[in-house]
Amino acid sequence: MSEAADQIFATLRHQAQSGAPLYLQLRKSIEDAVNRGLIGPGDALPSERDIATKADISRVTVRKAVQDLVKGGILVQRHGSGTFVAPRMERVEQSLSRLTSFTEDMARRGMVVRSAWLDRGLYAPSPDEMMVLGLSSSELVARVARLRIANDTPLAIERASLSASVLPDPADIGSSLYAALELTGNRPVRAVQRISAANLGDSDARLLEVPPGIAGLHIERISYLASGKVIEFTRSIYRGDAYDFVAELRLTGPSEEGRP
């Protein structure tokens, strides 16, 4: 850690009279130092004991500030080797007006895509799946759940459900669901996507390699064939620190008002 960054803790010693709890002041000093680039991704923080001495505060206070920053994804702790500034995520800008697949989106950016399988198989459909896919209780649903990884960074967990009549062997889709659907003439041509904020639960956070509770995006996509039939019902969790969804907006003329 640079001398300039070392100053953060020494400065805190002289400023620690502003009334705010000390751990909040320390947390803010570290956050400011990261934002101003005084300490960068991958830099190691001094030990708890060193920070406590430099800032003239207790180790309990240091621990509380550091734990808060780990929870917020600013710092990461590696067992046995210490505390570091978290690697910065390169954000992916994603258009909301094109119906593309994850593989296509990442390939266009020159990123290497792979997936880890979480589940694939045929199941009795849930009430949600029956309703959205128009299945009866005697039909089966094909489920394909994957952790989507680009350039070795896990970006999303995607759980797709399709009618088993469209995807009788979910183990057979290869690396792209949309490429597999294209082969059988079932690639969707239209989709409705709903995006909402979600805090990541423990198991999703573990898969996405982020601290539990951090902000994520819950995305639901219902895709249609040209005939109007629903082909795909996918529920995904995306890392909130990795995506910017971008939509182009146009002024609506009076003649277009009320159109969907």
Number of residues that bind ligand GLP (CB under 6 A): 13
The answer to whether residue 153 forms part of the interface with ligand GLP (CB under 6 A) is no
- Of the pair 64, 235, the CB lying nearest ligand GLP is at 235
Min dist. Cβ of residue 131 to ligand GLP (A) = 18
Nearest to 132 by CA among 92, 171, 162, 96: 162
Which residues, numbered 93-152, are part of the site for ligand GLP (CB under 6 A)?
A: 101-103
* Rounded-to-integer distance, Cα 83 and Cα 13, Å: 21
8-state DSSP, 240: T
The answer to whether residue 158 forms part of the interface with ligand GLP (CB under 6 A) is yes
- CA distances (Å), 215 to each of 73, 156, 190, 199, in order? 10, 13, 28, 5
* Rounded-to-integer distance, Cα 59 and Cα 67, Å: 12
Min dist. Cβ of residue 139 to ligand GLP (A) = 20
The answer to whether residue 234 forms part of the interface with ligand GLP (CB under 6 A) is yes
- Of the pair 71, 194, the CB lying nearest ligand GLP is at 194
- Of the pair 4, 189, the CB lying nearest ligand GLP is at 189
Backbone angles phi and psi of 67, in degrees to 5: -60, -40
In this structure, how many other beta carbons lie within 10 angstroms of the beta carbon of residue 65?
25
The answer to whether residue 163 forms part of the interface with ligand GLP (CB under 6 A) is no
Can you give the binding site for ligand GLP, defined by CB under 6 A?
101-103, 158, 160, 176-179, 221, 232, 234, 236
